[in-house]
Structure formats: C-alpha cells, structure tokens
Amino acid sequence: MRKNVFGVLIAGLLLCSNLLTAQTEMVWDSYGLGFTLTKGMRITQNDGETFSAEKADLFLTIVPVKNREVTEEHLAEAVIEMAVEMNYQTIADADELELNDLYGYYVEGTSDGASAFVVALMDVESSNNYLAIVVFTPDTRDAAIDLIISFFAYDE
C-alpha cells in the first residue's frame, strides 16, 4: 500500500514539474501571428499595438506594421535602421529568415553590453508585417533563437 501511495505521489510530482516548465503557445489574432513564449516568460504588454513578454534574462517585444507596399528590401533596410538606432557596437550576425509563411531579416548584435536580435518579418500571404526585438544574455541566446524560429503566420 505504501509503495502505491509513494508511486502515485512521485507520478504527481513529475506531472506538476512538466506543467510548470511548459512553454506557452501564443496567438495574436489581431495580426495573424503566432509564437511560443519560453517557459517563465510573463506578458507585460498586449494592447493590440505592442506585445511584450519578459523574464529576468530574456525580453521580447513585437510591433505590427501594416503596409501592403513593404518589400523584402524594405525589411532589410528596417532591420539595419533599427540596429543603427540602437547604437550596436558589434554585429555578430545578420541574415534573411524564412519561417512558416513569414519572410524577413534579422541582425544580432550588442549595444551597451546587452545582446539582442532585431527582426523584421513580413507575412507573404497578407499585408501584415512585424518588427521584433529579443534581448538576451549569453545563457539565454538559444532560448531567444527558439522564440524567433517559433513565429508563424495564420489566417485571421
């Protein structure tokens, strides 16, 4: 009997542990954007114009840009412009992205000791476009990448 109770207790603790470490699937219906927040992130702003979430060592903010005339070149220019405005001292990486019906560009760099990805995305099926900034520490760089590659477009 004690073995059964102990087994049930252990199983319950494992289930609770899995639930507490689960990531959060998000959908931003106003703009047809979905993504997965890293475990432990809490939403700090979601007012239809800006979405932000954070935890101690990882920060995300997304701003939609509605413009039917945005081109791939505009996205590259927007990312470079944002990196310049953020006074990046170093650029570690920059490239194009193709993510689940989203196309865009990103820059990874450091400004005032803070590492960040600046990402511009365009939904290839609609006029929805997005600018995102993900600030991270060396320990959360992989989580930042996972967050970025989780972005997907869907029909509103």
Global pTM value: 0.80
pLDDT of residue 94: 86
CATH number at residue 143: 3.40.1000.10
Distance between CA atoms of residues 135 and 132, nearest Å: 10
Residue 47 lies in a domain: yes
Residue 15 lies in a domain: no
Residue 85 lies in a domain: yes
Residue spans of alpha helices (H) in the chain = 2-20, 72-85, 141-149
Q: Which residue is it, tokens 């939403």?
A: 43
Residue 87 lies in a domain: yes
The number of folded domains in the chain is 1
pLDDT of residue 12: 43
Distance between CA atoms of residues 156 and 116, nearest Å: 29
Residue 42 lies in a domain: yes
**Mean pLDDT comparison of 10-14, 32-36, 127-131, highest-scoring range:** 32-36
pLDDT of residue 141: 96
Residue 40 lies in a domain: yes
Distance between CA atoms of residues 29 and 22, nearest Å: 22
Residue 5 lies in a domain: no
Residue spans of alpha helices (H) in 56-152 = 72-85, 141-149
Q: Who wins on pLDDT, 32 or 119? A: 119
Best CA proximity match to 120, nearest among 38, 40, 68, 62: 62
Residue 74: domain span = 24-153
Residue 100 lies in a domain: yes
Q: Could you report the per-residue pLDDT of 103-134, keeping only the tens digit for each?
A: 999 999 998 888 999 999 988 888 788 999 99
